[in-house]
Amino acid sequence: MYKKISIHDIARQLNVSSATVSYVLNGKAQEKRISAEQEKRILAFARQAGYRPNMVAKSLRTGKSKTIGMLVEDIADPFFSSIAREVEKIASQLDYKIFYSSTENDTRITQALIKVFRDAQVDGYIIAPSPGIEEEVQALINDQLPVILFDRYFPGLPTVNVVVDNFNGAYQASRHLLDQGFRHIGLVTLDSAQVQMSDRLAGYAAAMGEEGFKPRVLKIPYRLPPEKIAGKIKLFIKQNKDMNGVLFATNYLAISGLDAINSLHKKIPADMGIVGFDDNTHFSLFSPAVTAVAQPVQEISQQVMKMLMASMTDIAGNSRAATVVLPTRLVIRESSLQAINKKYPSV
Amino acid sequence: MYKKISIHDIARQLNVSSATVSYVLNGKAQEKRISAEQEKRILAFARQAGYRPNMVAKSLRTGKSKTIGMLVEDIADPFFSSIAREVEKIASQLDYKIFYSSTENDTRITQALIKVFRDAQVDGYIIAPSPGIEEEVQALINDQLPVILFDRYFPGLPTVNVVVDNFNGAYQASRHLLDQGFRHIGLVTLDSAQVQMSDRLAGYAAAMGEEGFKPRVLKIPYRLPPEKIAGKIKLFIKQNKDMNGVLFATNYLAISGLDAINSLHKKIPADMGIVGFDDNTHFSLFSPAVTAVAQPVQEISQQVMKMLMASMTDIAGNSRAATVVLPTRLVIRESSLQAINKKYPSV
DNA sequence: CGTTTTAATGCAAACGTTTGCCCTAATAAA
DNA sequence: TTTATTAGGGCAAACGTTTGCATTAAAACG
């Protein structure tokens, strides 16, 4: 195995101490009053010898790893992977590396992953928390470790959170369907008590309430395979004969929902108007194109990184709990346009 | 800041040496003949004290980081993100963590990222190489570092590669279009000399050759925004009036292509049959559903990890260069069915 | 009873950095 | 001429492990 050159090797070759080399290489020559001449020599030698610092040793000594641990629900989910992409871009500019892992929204898995990150001494945590990890998150806070939660959070914990306005997103989507003349609207959501889901439910319910309609909600268990989801949705539709609109609370529920509606030979939007939560690159290519509540991926990522960097540079624990709420954007496409409007398919 | 307990702390408390503690904690008690009694004591104490090893220190001493660096073209691309997902799953079972980064298929970026990984002392590299990084890859090989290339590779380099049979994939797709009666078929591909692309081109050309047709190829420059891509494709179609079939060499080219064809008001597949390379969860929901050459994501990931682990456990440099070629699967949907077949839309 | 073996453990170096403190010579101040 | 200062840099500990090489006491051997 090849051998990398160390700071000591440089020191020996140049007859200086490794301290001097270290100072120079860290740009502290001035501050430490190393002569300009030495500085040149050392820099030149290091460059020519292809010196590369050993980050591991550096980490051991400084306690900083220049690494961030990021926990998402599923890195293959387009929402999370596009956030990961943006976060990575910003992180690399700031000279940070990222460990990603998928939690599958599972408590045990998430707990284990947090442990792994701790062992690896990551400098900061970016987490889309799964249910039941309040204690672990609290422990991170207690240990003064920088943590940002995103997409959802625990209302009781003093964390820094970055989320979208789920209530309004769902409210607007529901209002839009109502305004388009769909009166009997159902909500297909996850059987989850997580805040992002209950907010969406509340937003939907609020809009229904305004019209004096009572909500009809289908809650799908987590980790159900797509066919089963479609099956449940079919049943839901059959059991609500007069339902002529559906709001889907997540990306993949909408996908399964489309399947279900198609297989019932209902026409969208003639027979049923639909809106999905969380936009998708492909929704515009579906036929009909699917209306969706778009999340500002780039802003979310930027806020996450901004808040994380703030937490990391703050004098330990100085960063206050806070929740950044970003607006969603309703992207109106064909799937939610009432027949009367379809004469002008300008969208 | 809180302070984690170290092996020395345990040793002190228990009046043993840190060596003993280390042995016990690493399961070498037997081998090092630590008495069963001591073993119990130490294990019990460590557990109760919540001891967690410092991976950084461990890495420094052993030279192993239990970390893998993975370079993909774009983590937000569903193909790469789903591979990342599988790889992560296997890796975590093997107790490895993963750094992912997106190269954007850019030489400079990739070079920089490889440097970052080297500095971080990753134990192995999984790379979807961008053009122009032959030297860096060769350098990794020279330094006996475990490297697996996937999706594409450099035919000249003695690396371990995991790819799909791009030639046959494209050949079968082209044959399928021909067999469905589409005679004048174009290929929309990337302006890239990378092996996966040239293989797809060759497969397409071979099928055309069998029928005595001459290929018509549109090469799209890298990193062109979707609208521009669509524009070029429109032009391509206009300039080839008799063209009635198109094979798209990548996922996102197909997406832009659909846009282009729609805006020209051509009907798929009546006016034009199409097939995309690389399947997508949503292709089945498009209207018409899009035929695609599916890549075996799971197998790719498994092979990648298998080969990587083999490289890592081999006595340095013992792992021979090899190229694992996995078959693709043509998923036939409506977009490639000639009118005559559409009477039986059984697919 | 002297000599080997073996069982059970300890010592301390090493991994490559960073950093608080020390040292020496020369210059400036008094 | 003393005494402070300053410039320029070196020493060595420390970060938390792992591991080659002792070391010691008891047991086994001859």
pLDDT digits (tens, 9 = 90+) for A228-248: 999 999 999 999 999 999 999
Nearest residue in A to B98, CA atom: A99
| Residue recorded with tokens 């609370």 | A249
pLDDT-based confidence at residue A31 (cuts at 50, 70, 90) = confident
Query: Strands A329-331, A291-294: parallel, antiparallel or unpaired by DSSP?
Result: antiparallel
A346 pLDDT above the threshold of 50:
no
DSSP secondary structure, A217-271, as one string: EEEEPTT--HHHHHHHHHHHHHH-TT--EEEESSHHHHHHHHHHHHHTT--TTTT
Cross-chain Cβ contact A120/B97 below 8 Å: yes
Q: In the 8-state DSSP scheme, what is residue A296?
A: -
> Would the Cβ of B60 be found within 7 angstroms of any atom in strand C?
yes
B339 pLDDT above the threshold of 70:
no
Three-class DSSP category at A199:
helix
Distance in angstroms (rounded) separating the CA atoms of residues A284 and B256: 11
Nearest residue in B to A3, CA atom: B143
Which percentage of chain A shows pLDDT scores above 90?
A: 85
Within 13 A of B45's CA, how many CA atoms are on the CB side?
21
A131 pLDDT above the threshold of 60:
yes
Three-class DSSP category at A333:
coil
**What integer pLDDT is reported at residue A30 of this predicted model?**
86
pLDDT tens track for B233-251:
999 999 999 999 999 999 8
pLDDT-based confidence at residue B338 (cuts at 50, 70, 90) = confident
A345 pLDDT above the threshold of 80:
no
pLDDT tens track for B100-147:
999 999 999 999 999 999 999 999 999 999 999 999 999 999 999 999
B171 pLDDT above the threshold of 50:
yes
Shortest CA gap B329–chain A (Å):
21
**What integer pLDDT is reported at residue B340 of this predicted model?**
52
Whether A185 and A178 have beta carbons less than 8 Å apart is answered as: yes
pLDDT-based confidence at residue A67 (cuts at 50, 70, 90) = very high
Distance in angstroms (rounded) separating the CA atoms of residues B280 and B74: 15
Q: Which of A2, A259, A316 sits opposite B1 (nearest CB)?
A: A316
Cross-chain Cβ contact B102/A88 below 8 Å: yes
Please return the burial class of B288, using the count of CB atoms within 10 Å of its CB with bins 0-12, 13-18 and 19+.
buried
Whether the link from the prior residue into B345 is cis, omega within 30° of 0, is no
Cross-chain Cβ contact B56/A121 below 8 Å: yes
pLDDT tens track for A165-212:
999 999 999 999 999 999 999 999 999 999 999 999 999 999 999 999
**What integer pLDDT is reported at residue A316 of this predicted model?**
52
Cross-chain Cβ contact B92/A101 below 8 Å: yes
**What integer pLDDT is reported at residue A338 of this predicted model?**
80
Distance A24 CA to C28 C1' (A): 28
Cross-chain Cβ contact A282/B287 below 8 Å: no
**Chain B residues lying within 8 Å of A75, measured CB to CB:** 75, 81, 84-85, 88
For residue B232, CA distances in Å to A102, B223, B254, B277 come to: 38, 13, 13, 19
| Residue recorded with tokens 């009781």 | A156
Which percentage of chain A shows pLDDT scores above 70?
A: 95
Nucleotide nearest to A10 (CA to C1'): C16
Give the residue, A347 or A214, on which the prediction is more confident. Answer: A214
pLDDT tens track for B276-302:
999 988 888 888 899 999 999 999 999
**What integer pLDDT is reported at residue A347 of this predicted model?**
36
Distance in angstroms (rounded) separating the CA atoms of residues B276 and B174: 10
Please return the burial class of A184, using the count of CB atoms within 10 Å of its CB with bins 0-12, 13-18 and 19+.
middle
pLDDT tens track for B103-113:
999 999 999 99
Radius of gyration of chain B (CA): 26
Which bases of chain D are under 7 A from a protein CB atom? 7-12, 14-20
Lowest mean pLDDT among A94-108, B51-65, B257-271, B306-320: B306-320
Cross-chain Cβ contact A56/B121 below 8 Å: yes
- Rounded to the nearest integer, the mean pLDDT of chain A is 93
> Would the Cβ of A101 be found within 7 angstroms of any atom in strand C?
no
Angle at which helices B18-25 and B36-49 cross, to 10°:
80
Give the residue, B217 or B313, on which the prediction is more confident. Answer: B217
DSSP secondary structure, B165-220, as one string: -HHHHHHHHHHHHHHTT--SEEEEEES---HHHHHHHHHHHHHHHHTTPPPEEEEE
**Chain B residues lying within 8 Å of A102, measured CB to CB:** 85, 88-89
> Would the Cβ of A62 be found within 7 angstroms of any atom in strand C?
yes
Distance in angstroms (rounded) separating the CA atoms of residues A219 and A221: 7
Nucleotide nearest to B11 (CA to C1'): C10
B17 pLDDT above the threshold of 70:
yes
Best of A25, A64, A125, A282 to disrupt the B interface (most B CBs within 10 Å) is A282
CA closest to C19 C1', residue: A19
Number of inter-chain CB pairs under 8 A, A vs B: 130
Distance A72 CA to C14 C1' (A): 39
Specify the pTM. Answer: 0.93
Query: Mean pLDDT throughout A307-319?
Result: 79
